[in-house]
Amino acid sequence: MSESAIEDALVNRLDEDRQRNALAFAAFCASSQIELRELVENYWGLYYREEGAGCIGLKDDSWFFVPGMNYSDDWEYYLRNEGLTEAVWANVQPCSACQDCAPGKNMTILGKEFTGICQCVFMFWNPNDTALDCAKKILIKSLQLIAAKKTEVLMQGEKDA
């Protein structure tokens, strides 16, 4: 999907305030060599080096970003060291029974207990500047992990040759 297609969708569906951050995030993705692929109407997968790194979606007059991350101790260390605790807590997604995983799961995230959260764990709905910065940092870290994984595979192939 072309970059202009997602921009058109964002402009047509969102008010000016939400457009600003949504368009900034789409531009950030493009500048980070992330390919946006429309998976279903109003829902785009973010791909870097052919690996999924998250998604952007539109629902009614809102937009959201879901990071493609498996929450772990390594992520907890990174998020805490980047000072993202409050922004992460604010974007933990409660289970809305949208799939067959209801009623959600219970997790401890950065020392705080959450009950009944979505399987995606985090969803940034209409992120303000602080949340958008947090989402970008999570996405950058995801890209670094994808690149490191790809490099490791290449190095292993050279070693086996």
DSSP structural state of residue 99: S
48 phi/psi in degrees, rounded to 5: -130, 120
Per-residue model confidence (pLDDT) at position 2:
53
Return all residues near 60 (Cβ < 8 A) that are at least 6 apart.
Answer: 13
Domain count, the chain: 1
Domain that holds residue 128: 3-160
* Amino acid of residue 22: A
Query: For all residues of the chain together, what is the average pLDDT?
Result: 89
Longest C-alpha distance within the chain, in Å? 55
The mean pLDDT of 10-33, rounded to a whole number, is: 94
Whether residue 86 has pLDDT greater than 70:
yes
Per-residue model confidence (pLDDT) at position 96:
82
Per-residue model confidence (pLDDT) at position 4:
76
Burial class (CB within 10 angstroms; exposed 0-12, middle 13-18, buried 19+) of 122: buried
Whether residue 114 has pLDDT greater than 80:
yes
Per-residue model confidence (pLDDT) at position 158:
56
Instruction: Give the tens place of pLDDT for each residue, 27-53.
Output: 999 999 999 999 999 999 999 999 999
Per-residue model confidence (pLDDT) at position 81:
95
Select from 96, 88, 97 the least CA-distant residue to 65: 88
pLDDT band at residue 98, thresholds of 50, 70 and 90? confident
Return all residues near 68 (Cβ < 8 A) that are at least 6 apart.
Answer: 46, 52, 53, 54, 55, 142
Per-residue model confidence (pLDDT) at position 71:
84
Which strands form 112-122's sheet, in the order they lie side by side?
92-94, 112-122, 105-109
Per-residue model confidence (pLDDT) at position 72:
82
More confident: 115 or 153:
115
Q: 64-100 burial, b if ≥16 CB within 10 A, otherwise e?
A: bbbbbbebeeebbebbeebebbebbeebbbebeeeee
The SS3 call for residue 18 is: helix
CA–CA gap between residue 36 and residue 52 (Å, rounded): 10
